[in-house]
Amino acid sequence: MLYRELARDDKIQRILELIPQKKPFRFIDRIIELDSDRAMGQYTFRHDEWFYQGHFPDQPITPGVILVECMAQIGIVAMALHLMLEEDKVPHEFTTLFQDVQIEFLQTVLPGDTVTVKVEKLFWRRNKIKAKVDLYKGDQLAASGTLAGIGVKDHHAKD
């Protein structure tokens, strides 16, 4: 069955299976919404995450680069995989490379916090994606900006 003929939940499950990042570097617990223009996903930062040991030992906060990675996995990687599948491309033949980030941080994210990333596609052409991303902690905006990436042919991909 073609990807675009799958039910919504089956599409989301397929995308989650295709996302190349794995634990301990996967920052998506679930995808709530995914279509050709928008995505939304969530992640709960667990108290035992590896990066809290040194950032900062007595008052751990989630590093900004990890928040950007969470936003990119939902807003660039998941969205790009979806768009490639919609175009009948074989996504495992591509690697999505991060190209640009412009994020403003407004609040800290602490161990135990669940964040929701809301994504709006700005453009998609020639395997390049740019999206507006907002990261919420509860109903409070914690980070906002744009991310961009490009899918490049992976010459190590297995057939």
Is position 89 within any domain? yes
3-state secondary structure (DSSP) of residue 72: helix
The overall average pLDDT reported for the chain is 94
Residue 55 is a catalytic residue: yes
User: Is there a cis peptide before residue 94, judged by omega within 30 degrees of 0?
Assistant: no
Q: CA–CA distance from 86 to each of 1, 42, 80, 96, 136 (Å)?
A: 12, 23, 10, 16, 28
Is position 30 within any domain? yes
* Full domain range(s) for residue 77: 3-153
DSSP code string of 11-63: HHHHHHHH----TTS---SEEEEE-SSEEEEEEE--TT-GGGGTS-TTS----
Is position 124 within any domain? yes
For the chain, the domain total comes to: 1
User: Which CATH number belongs to the domain containing residue 132 in this structure?
Assistant: 3.10.129.10
pLDDT of residue 156: 65
Is position 36 within any domain? yes
Please write the tens of the pLDDT for every residue from 15-32.
999 999 999 999 999 999
The structure's pTM equals 0.93
Is position 93 within any domain? yes
Please write the tens of the pLDDT for every residue from 111-152.
999 999 999 999 999 999 999 999 999 999 999 999 999 988
Is position 159 within any domain? no
Q: Of the residues 47, 55, 92, 155, which is catalytic? A: 55
Residue 61 has pLDDT above 70, yes or no: yes
Residue 147 has which token pair?
């991310």
Is position 158 within any domain? no
pLDDT of residue 68: 98
pLDDT of residue 147: 98
